[in-house]
Every structure is written in C-alpha cells, then in structure tokens.
Amino acid sequence: RNEGGYYDVDANGRQLTQELRLSWQGDKRSRAAVGIYAGYFDQRFGYELIGDRIDSSTVLPASIPGTTSTVIADFRYRFNNLAMNQAVFSELDYDFGRTLLTLGLRYDREQREQQAPFTVTRADLVTCSTTLITVCTPPVDGTAALTALGFIPEAGNNIAAAEYDALLQKVALQYTLLP
C-alpha cells in the first residue's frame, strides 16, 4: 500500500553459462556425447518507497479523539540472488533399425545464496487534529509507531544459503512405424 509516496526501483543482473560437449559417431548404429556445464547467475533487485503514509491512529496508546496519527516513512528493500550451477552429462544412442534406444545420465549441483535486507530509512510521526480546522504537529521520530504497526526498522540481511544436487537418468525408446 502506498498512499502519497512514490517508488524508486532498480534491477540488474549478470549471467554467464558455458557448456563443453564432445560428440562421438561410431558405426552407423551408435553415437554418444559427454560434456560439462557451468553457470553463474547474479540478480539484484531493489526499491525504495519514499514518503509512504501509514495510519497509526489505531496502535498508538496516546491517540486522542479528534486527531489522526500518520507515520511518513521511507523504506529500502534489496534482493540479491546468487547461484552457481555445475553439471556433467553423457548420452548414448543405439539404433536397432526401426527402434532407437537412448540412455543418458546427468549429475547437477547448485549452490544458491539469497540476501534480502530491509531497512526503514526515515520515520516521521505527524499528529493532526480533525476538528474545525486541520492543525498538525511538527514531525517527530515515528520509529515506535512503526514498530507497533509490525514494521522492524532494521530487519537485517536475511541471508539464506543452500546447496542442491541430483543424479538424473534418461531412458528413451523411439519406434518408427513406417520404414
């Protein structure tokens, strides 16, 4: 929800992949391939929400009838995703005439790290009377009001890292109906 503020968004990323494949053609019935693969992915996304107006009247203990309390806040959120992939693979085809048999094997490994820092860079609390004329107080520190609303001013780096690996097998039969 953004009432009265504006967004500033930036995103960029880098990607590098490389595959080396060696193919072999045997007699007319067989062929094979072996190879390795490596990939590097670095994605970065972020936004700043400037001047978001959040109604805090319901959570402030000193709410006075006839007044409204608003926190005007600036938020900064960043998301970084780093992944590295490696694989080795092989495949063998054998032709039995009208039937082609394919056998394959692939081992994949991935390391991934994600960071999602979230910070509140400004929190001003403004209280306004809503009687005959609107009169507002000068802004004061609104960090306590944001915390009461469930926002954590410094959510930290929120790092998650994981590694995955898998051994994939492939068996395929292709049959030709007409010669």
Mean pLDDT of 60-70: 64
Contact 129, 66 (CB under 8 A): yes
2: pLDDT strictly greater than 50: no
Residue, of 104 and 145, whose pLDDT is higher: 104
Residue 1 pLDDT level (bands cut at 50, 70, 90) = very low
Mean pLDDT of 147-154: 66
Contact 5, 52 (CB under 8 A): yes
45: pLDDT strictly greater than 70: yes
C-alpha closest to that of 41 among 108, 111, 106, 109: 111
Q: Write down the pLDDT at residue 50.
A: 81
- Tell me the pLDDT tens digit for each residue of 119-150: 777 778 887 777 777 777 777 787 777 676 66
Mean pLDDT of 97-110: 96
Pairing of strands 118-129, 67-95: antiparallel
59: pLDDT strictly greater than 60: no
Of 24-33, 78-87, 109-118, 163-172, the one with minimum mean pLDDT is: 109-118
Residue, of 74 and 43, whose pLDDT is higher: 43
Residue 11 pLDDT level (bands cut at 50, 70, 90) = confident
Residue, of 152 and 89, whose pLDDT is higher: 89
4: pLDDT strictly greater than 80: no
From CA 133, how far away is CA 3, in angstroms rounded?
A: 22
Residue, of 59 and 2, whose pLDDT is higher: 59
